Structure 1
Amino acid sequence: MTIEDKTKKHLGLLIKASILLVLALLILIPIYNVKRLLREREERASRTTSQVINQWGGRQYIMGPVLAVPFRFTRDIEEDKKIVTKIYKGVKYFLPSELVLDTDTESVERHKGIFTIPLYKSQLGIHGHFDKLSFQENRGDNLQILWDQAKINIEVASTIGLSQTLKLQWNGSTTEFFRDLSGNDIMSDPLGAPLGANPREGGDFSIDLNLKGGESLEFYPLGKEVKLSLNSDWSSPQFTGTFLPDDYVINEKGTTASWSMGAYNVNFPQSWYAGDIDKNLVYESRFGVEFTEVIDQYFQVHRALKYAFLFVFMPFIALFLMEIIFKHPLHTVQYLFIGLGTAFFFLLLLTLSEHLDFWLSYGLSGLGTSLLIYFYGRAILPNQASQLSLLGLLILLYAYLFLSLQSEDYALLIGSLGLFGLFSAVMIGTRKLDWNEVGMYAQPHKRKDETEEEE
């Protein structure tokens, strides 16, 4: 063979490889469109979920109770060279010396269209004690404390989630909460329950409420000593906020957790006059739990799409090496069909996972595309060894991706080892190949079944 012939062979090989590279990159375009479709479906799911959760009660929090005691006093000031007595009004707020919260949370589901939205119902018991109240500070002359107008304020994030009339038990008497339009120093939309009796000596309180919500349930540590216990049938919660639980147990049956903290854990006082507190210090102390799915089907599909290039390039590399080893040329269109077949896997995975369990969707999508490509490969590849090699490669890729998706914490390790293994397999498989003699050829070798038909 002359140098010119060898040059033509090598040039033909380079041109074919370049065409396949461009083709592989072009096949990534429909896969990119699957990513766009994934984002659209995620946004639709998010809008639907938010709508249902807000109608149910929303992301809930409980703030309080806080005891509010109004007062008024006078001050003599000089106006136009005259001494004028003016009346001023104010409110002093007190936090309980002891606050205990017990909550039992049950998960429920609501369906809208093809989407399933996780929600919860919570039974909360709030009880504790206020110590004797003090007004020792000098606010002005003729201080008059309006004990008969004292009230207990609490706040929930959304009153839509309240499923019963809210009542306060104070030292044995019962009173109902109302929407308190007079406001509260740290609450944007408080509920208030008038005490009626003089609370100066303090007292015991108890509040029971049934609260509906979704995604999260949070609390504020408003008290000198605060204790919270949580029982839930949710098996994959996430603890959020400033404080983590002291003890917790999470298993397939649900979650139990307990918190305990005191005034020394927060940066706001246990009593203050209206306007004298930084509300942000209170808001920053919020803590609780999130009831959301850690990994949903869209997140899994998104992770799978990160490996899309492997599902395009590896079959192309395998087919290209089969061309060289078996001296059986394949047309670019045949590469195109196989590349699009692998791209369909991701579209099927996204579509089926909205209706079926993710791993069932994964298995059906992988099985369907593998069989499709295998039966097509039987028609274009020269022998059974090459056909089974292509099928084996696809099974290996789907198994590799399955392991990566199964273990999020070790995904990088599995991914690195997998890539190294695939690259090593290519190197070992071609170690005895004489690349100097490799080139494109004019006539393909006939398949065995084609030869038999001619005879």
Structure 2
Amino acid sequence: MEERKGKFGYWLRNSISARMIVVGFLLVVLLIPLEFVKSLIYERSSRQVEVVREINNKWGNEVIISGPILKIPYKTIEKTEHFNSDTKKYETRTETITNIAYIFPDDLNVEADVNTLERNRAIYKSVVFTADMNVSGTFPKIDLSEKDIPLSDILWEKATVVIQTTNIKGIRSNMEVQLNDSALALNPKFTKDYLNTIQSQVIPEFETKAKQAMPFSFTIKVNGSERLQFIPIGKESKVSMTSNWHSPSFNGNFLPIEDSKTITKEGFNADWEVYQINRQFEQVFYNTLPNLTHFAFGADLIIPVDEYQKSERTAKYGFLVIGLTFLVFLMIQIGSKIYIHPFQYVLIGLALVLFYTLLISISEHSSFLKAYLISASAVMLLITVYSKIVFKEMKFPILIAFSLSSLYGFIYVIIQLENYALLVGSVGLFVILAIIMFASRKLDWK
């Protein structure tokens, strides 16, 4: 039995194949704690999303504004034939039905001043905003002749103005619309649609006002988060947005006019111009008002850099880091005839896995760059000092320190890239493979 143990120990210490098998097995085993680290990153990222959602719900969610819109009831007469079983004759019945015409403005001008604030809960951050908006424009002269609706069938005394938004809870001002010389108070109206409706009182003397173009204006102050968007319901819609947020992401169906867009560290300015010809809906709808949110445009106002996403991308290279580090140690072991115990490989591998827990924990309290530098430096120092103890000289620990610093630097460059990450990563791996092939050319593999 002792003879067998002695043979196995001799084979393990002197066979290159045995060392490679053991190192490969340890590499696979270390994938288990690496997966635990990835699960931890996912858990912390999910917790961040949950906390940000809670903050945004209390302050106010995304804001989409559509309006103002004229809501004009009109009556139609429907005639139906009914068979009278008593008289054995068909009788004509008439019924008056009330329908609705929704009329969009000819001109819509929006000036939005958006002030952003950072809200913290423990270590998590969210960006919220307060938008002060001035809206003005002109409604056209009322003409429903395209539907053969005579003026006498319009219920002028029931006409109102409606505004739609996704975020009634966030409104922080009394709302009223100035239509010609009338100030119309606005109140919420129950609806099950995605856009909530705010409706005015009936428009006084509307029949007289409707004989010519009608200017309107209103102001609104609203709290929101994540994004601010507008639906271009005017024949000519112009939106100007000014904010102190330094990294907006313009979104939606329409982008700002390129010459009008300026982004600095102090904030941004952007202007949009959208015409009826640019979008696929008409200026008048009958009976139902469709959901036009997919025509909305505006800006996302969010923290652009997610430290958890960067940590997750870094952890995906964990297998590469551990594998290449083990390969360096194995090549040194083969070339120098110094025996490295499998348990020492395990300790080195655990130190490399610990890098990712350090990275995520430090990045929650500092910038990702600082967290990366501190974590990489700590792990490199630990492994370098440990290598000095194992190899009893400095040239090999210096080689290992250089290899680790190059590897961590290479991975940091990759995760900062977006469009060229795959290209740079592929070229980098090709160079690493070429270096390993060149370095191993004189090793005695027997």
What are the within-5 Å matches in structure 2 for residues 71-220 of structure 1? Answer: 71-79=74-82, 80=84, 81-137=90-146, 143-181=152-190, 188-194=195-201, 195-198=203-206, 199-200=209-210, 201-220=212-231
User: Contact 1:99 / 1:129 at 8 angstroms: preserved in 2?
Assistant: yes
Counterpart in the other structure of 1:343: 353
User: Partners of 1:75 and 1:424 in 2: how far apart?
Assistant: 84
User: Contact 2:172 / 2:222 at 8 angstroms: preserved in 1?
Assistant: yes
| SS of residue matched to 2:145 | coil
Task: Indicate yes or no: 2:259 matched with 1:256.
Answer: no
Aligned CA distance change for structure 1 residues 58 and 396 (closer, same or farther; 3 Å): same
Which letter does structure 1 place at the counterpart of 2:252?
Answer: G
Counterpart in the other structure of 2:6: none
Superposition deviation, residue 406 in structure 1: 2.5
Q: Gaps spanning 5+ residues in structure 1: where?
A: 1-6, 439-455
Aligned CA distance change for structure 1 residues 251 and 285 (closer, same or farther; 3 Å): same
Superposition deviation, residue 310 in structure 1: 2.0
Superposition deviation, residue 51 in structure 1: 1.3
Counterpart in the other structure of 1:442: none
User: Partners of 1:327 and 1:152 in 2: how far apart?
Assistant: 87
Counterpart in the other structure of 1:450: none
Superposition deviation, residue 26 in structure 1: 0.9
Which letter does structure 2 place at the counterpart of 1:192?
Answer: Q
**In structure 2, which of residues 253, 256, 263 is the aligned counterpart of residue 242 of structure 1?**
253
Aligned CA distance change for structure 1 residues 417 and 288 (closer, same or farther; 3 Å): same
After TM superposition, the structure 1 stretch with the greater mean CA deviation from structure 2, 152-161 or 404-413, is: 404-413
Which letter does structure 2 place at the counterpart of 1:271?
Answer: V
Aligned CA distance change for structure 1 residues 329 and 196 (closer, same or farther; 3 Å): same
Q: Gaps spanning 5+ residues in structure 2: where?
A: 1-9, 85-89
Aligned CA distance change for structure 1 residues 191 and 322 (closer, same or farther; 3 Å): same
User: Partners of 1:119 and 1:310 in 2: how far apart?
Assistant: 39
Superposition deviation, residue 142 in structure 1: 9.5
Identical-residue share of aligned pairs (%): 28
Task: Indicate yes or no: 2:22 matched with 1:14.
Answer: no
User: Partners of 1:206 and 1:56 in 2: how far apart?
Assistant: 26
User: Alpha-carbon deviations, 1:352-393, whole Å to 9, x = none?
Assistant: 111111111111111111111112111111311011111111
Counterpart in the other structure of 1:62: 65
User: Contact 1:106 / 1:122 at 8 angstroms: preserved in 2?
Assistant: yes
Counterpart in the other structure of 1:270: 283
User: Contact 1:249 / 1:257 at 8 angstroms: preserved in 2?
Assistant: yes
Superposition deviation, residue 325 in structure 1: 1.5
After TM superposition, the structure 1 stretch with the greater mean CA deviation from structure 2, 81-90 or 47-56, is: 81-90
Which letter does structure 2 place at the counterpart of 1:252?
Answer: K
User: Contact 1:105 / 1:120 at 8 angstroms: preserved in 2?
Assistant: yes
Q: How many residues in Structure 1 have an aligned counterpart in Structure 2?
A: 425
How does the TM-score come out when normalised to structure 1? 0.88
**In structure 2, which of residues 27, 32, 35 is the aligned counterpart of residue 29 of structure 1?**
32
Task: Indicate yes or no: 2:421 matched with 1:421.
Answer: no
User: Alpha-carbon deviations, 1:187-235, whole Å to 9, x = none?
Assistant: 7421011322314133111111111111111111101111111112222
User: Partners of 2:14 and 2:391 in 1: how far apart?
Assistant: 24
Superposition deviation, residue 175 in structure 1: 2.3
User: Partners of 2:12 and 2:158 in 1: how far apart?
Assistant: 98
User: Contact 1:106 / 1:232 at 8 angstroms: preserved in 2?
Assistant: yes
User: Partners of 1:32 and 1:164 in 2: how far apart?
Assistant: 50
User: Partners of 1:51 and 1:294 in 2: how far apart?
Assistant: 19
Which letter does structure 1 place at the counterpart of 2:312?
Answer: H
Aligned CA distance change for structure 1 residues 288 and 27 (closer, same or farther; 3 Å): same
User: Partners of 1:304 and 1:321 in 2: how far apart?
Assistant: 25
Superposition deviation, residue 89 in structure 1: 0.6
Aligned CA distance change for structure 1 residues 85 and 141 (closer, same or farther; 3 Å): farther
User: Partners of 2:371 and 2:52 in 1: how far apart?
Assistant: 22
Aligned CA distance change for structure 1 residues 362 and 115 (closer, same or farther; 3 Å): same
User: Alpha-carbon deviations, 1:280-327, whole Å to 9, x = none?
Assistant: 5x2331222111233310110011012111220111111111111211
User: Contact 1:99 / 1:225 at 8 angstroms: preserved in 2?
Assistant: yes
How does the TM-score come out when normalised to structure 2? 0.90
User: Partners of 1:46 and 1:304 in 2: how far apart?
Assistant: 20
Superposition deviation, residue 132 in structure 1: 0.5
**In structure 1, which of residues 405, 426, 431 is the aligned counterpart of residue 441 of structure 2?**
431
User: Contact 1:74 / 1:141 at 8 angstroms: preserved in 2?
Assistant: no
User: Partners of 2:92 and 2:428 in 1: how far apart?
Assistant: 88
User: Partners of 1:72 and 1:9 in 2: how far apart?
Assistant: 95
Counterpart in the other structure of 1:391: 401
User: Partners of 2:377 and 2:317 in 1: how far apart?
Assistant: 18
Task: Indicate yes or no: 2:49 matched with 1:46.
Answer: yes
User: Partners of 1:197 and 1:114 in 2: how far apart?
Assistant: 57
Which letter does structure 2 place at the counterpart of 1:189?
Answer: N
User: Alpha-carbon deviations, 1:389-448, whole Å to 9, x = none?
Assistant: 11111111121122222333332232223212222221222222333xx4xxxxxxxxxx
Superposition deviation, residue 39 in structure 1: 1.1
What are the within-5 Å matches in structure 2 for residues 219-234 of structure 1? Answer: 219-234=230-245
Moved over 6 A (4+): 7-11
Superposition deviation, residue 140 in structure 1: 7.2
**In structure 1, which of residues 295, 311, 318 is the aligned counterpart of residue 321 of structure 2?**
311
Which letter does structure 1 place at the counterpart of 2:380?
Answer: S
User: Contact 1:94 / 1:272 at 8 angstroms: preserved in 2?
Assistant: yes
Which letter does structure 1 place at the counterpart of 2:200?
Answer: A
Which letter does structure 2 place at the counterpart of 1:217?
Answer: L
Counterpart in the other structure of 2:364: 354
User: Contact 1:74 / 1:143 at 8 angstroms: preserved in 2?
Assistant: no
User: Partners of 1:10 and 1:40 in 2: how far apart?
Assistant: 42
User: Contact 1:149 / 1:196 at 8 angstroms: preserved in 2?
Assistant: no
Which letter does structure 1 place at the counterpart of 2:280?
Answer: N
Superposition deviation, residue 174 in structure 1: 1.9
